[in-house]
Amino acid sequence: SRLRLSGLCFLLQTLTILLFAAFVRFGPDSSPGLCSQPLNCSQRNQDSGSQHPRFRDVYLQTLLGFGFLMAFLSRYGPGSVAISILVVAFAIQWAVLLQGFLHQFWNGKIHMGAQSMVRADSGAAAALISTGAVLGRVNPAQTLLLTLLGVTLFTLNEYTLLSLLGVSDSGGSVTVHTFGAYFGLMVSRTLHQPHREQWEEQQGTGQQPDVFAAVGTLCLWIFWPSFTSTTTAHSSAEPWVVLNTYFSMAASTMATFILSPLLYEESTLRMVQIQDATVAGAAVMGMAGEMLVTPFGALIAGFLAGLIPPLGFRFLTPFLRSRLKIQDTCGVHNVHGLPGVLGALLGTLLAALATADAYGGRLELVFPLVARGSRTRTEQTLLQLSALPLSLLLAALGGCLTGVVLRMKGLRSAPANRYLQN
């Protein structure tokens, strides 16, 4: 197992180095972003002076916010953080290559800039979400292969939705949260092992994971608005995303404090529950954040999203485990999947209500094809709605295929007792 991981890391890193040497070159920050045609990918020319702070915030969000999401298992916390760093280290390199070939490839070279790295972080985030569904049940080599296939399918899904269909999903309700969650759930279902019940009873949580969760929650509050705003339309539309995300996270946190004491006997919420509420509130704003959701609308959406994790862990997670044979270690279905679906439905509703009178000049920034008259509001609404089933279909098929690959004899996990001592 030790040599298998070492060899796989060497092989993948050598491959990426060769591909970077052959194709990747630095380009100006004003080079075309993810859009190979003038559709709304929420990728406009950015002020290069503002790239570094947002670039830094996105990286901190991915490494700390997402990384500590997986540190709640008392015997697996430090190991899960280490695996998260491995996933991010490889996913960013692979995403830069794949997104570059699709969006920034001309004259035989990939011309990348700071925005390329920012967008690659979305692929890393989706891979981390998928990893959460199988946390502790796959070895590092399997995790690395899951990242390889997951980022590849994520890039294909993102390109189809954002570039070809012109869907607006700047914060990734569908492309990051929904796709990452259901891709991971299908991998988990394919890898189902019926004799893991004893291990699941021992995995537990403890005081140290609560410390990790506290740090992760603070990072989510500080850096997530930057994460959702890095790919939105610049200038006047950008503050909408930041403010709407903050309002949504605040309301979702309040919802958890309201509902969790009614569902559980504990008098005090654990930090893991607050962390889940924060993620759910941010996920629901992924698609709708740059739209005219209004402050009170963001509060309502965040409150509804905050109800999902406690209800999901109480009722849906046992159902998934017992009836559908899906072992969702981190509960990504409750924290990312369902809030992402809610965010997609909210974005579709707001697209149906988008008018020039309501948006003014911002309609060109959020829905440029509608503003120019080349697409009707109804067509944009239907495309926004179609993003959800298309992502779910690709996630389901890709997850099943990835699970089959990970079940290969040479990649199977070590005995569970080895992971209990991590």
pTM to 2 decimals? 0.89
Label residue 238 by pLDDT band (50, 70, 90). low
| Crossing angle for the helix pair 295-311 and 238-263, to the nearest 10 degrees | 40
What pLDDT score does 113 carry? 85
Of the listed ranges 127-136, 170-179, 238-247, the least confidently predicted one is 238-247
Question: Comparing 204 with 102, which gets the higher pLDDT?
Answer: 102
Q: Residues with Cβ < 8 Å from 16, sequence gap 6 or more?
A: 90, 93, 94, 97
* Model pLDDT for residues 264-302, shown as the tens digit of each residue: 877 677 888 899 999 999 999 999 988 888 899 999 999
Kind plus residue range of the DSSP H or E element containing 24: strand 24-26
What pLDDT score does 422 carry? 43
The arithmetic mean of pLDDT across residues 12-36, rounded, is: 78
Of the listed ranges 65-79, 121-135, 184-198, 277-291, the least confidently predicted one is 65-79
DSSP secondary structure string for all residues of 213-273: HHHHHHHHHHHHHHHHHTTSPSGGGHHHHHHHHHHHHHHHHHHHHHHHHHHSS-SS--HHH
Cα separation, 415 vs 375, in Å, equals 56
What pLDDT score does 34 carry? 47
The arithmetic mean of pLDDT across residues 153-175, rounded, is: 93
What pLDDT score does 116 carry? 87
Instruction: Tell me: pLDDT of 198 over 60.
Output: no
What is the layout of strands, in order, in the sheet containing 24-26? 24-26, 109-112, 105-106
The arithmetic mean of pLDDT across residues 156-170, rounded, is: 93
How much is the mean pLDDT over the chain? 84
What pLDDT score does 271 carry? 85
3-class state of residue 334 by DSSP:
helix
* Beta-sheet pairing, 105-106 with 24-26: unpaired
What pLDDT score does 47 carry? 42
What pLDDT score does 29 carry? 52
Question: Comparing 373 with 21, which gets the higher pLDDT?
Answer: 21
Q: Do the Cβ atoms of 395 and 154 come closer than 8 Å?
A: no
The arithmetic mean of pLDDT across residues 165-170, rounded, is: 90
**Tokens 């989510």 -> residue:** 220
Both tokens assigned to 396: 């389901």
Label residue 389 by pLDDT band (50, 70, 90). very high
What pLDDT score does 415 carry? 46
What pLDDT score does 208 carry? 55
What pLDDT score does 417 carry? 46
The arithmetic mean of pLDDT across residues 86-113, rounded, is: 93
Both tokens assigned to 285: 């704003």
What pLDDT score does 247 carry? 95
Both tokens assigned to 362: 């911002």
Q: Catalogue all structural domains in the chain, each as residue range(s) with its CATH number.
A: 58-193+211-407 (1.10.3430.10)
* Model pLDDT for residues 36-57, shown as the tens digit of each residue: 444 444 444 444 444 556 677 7
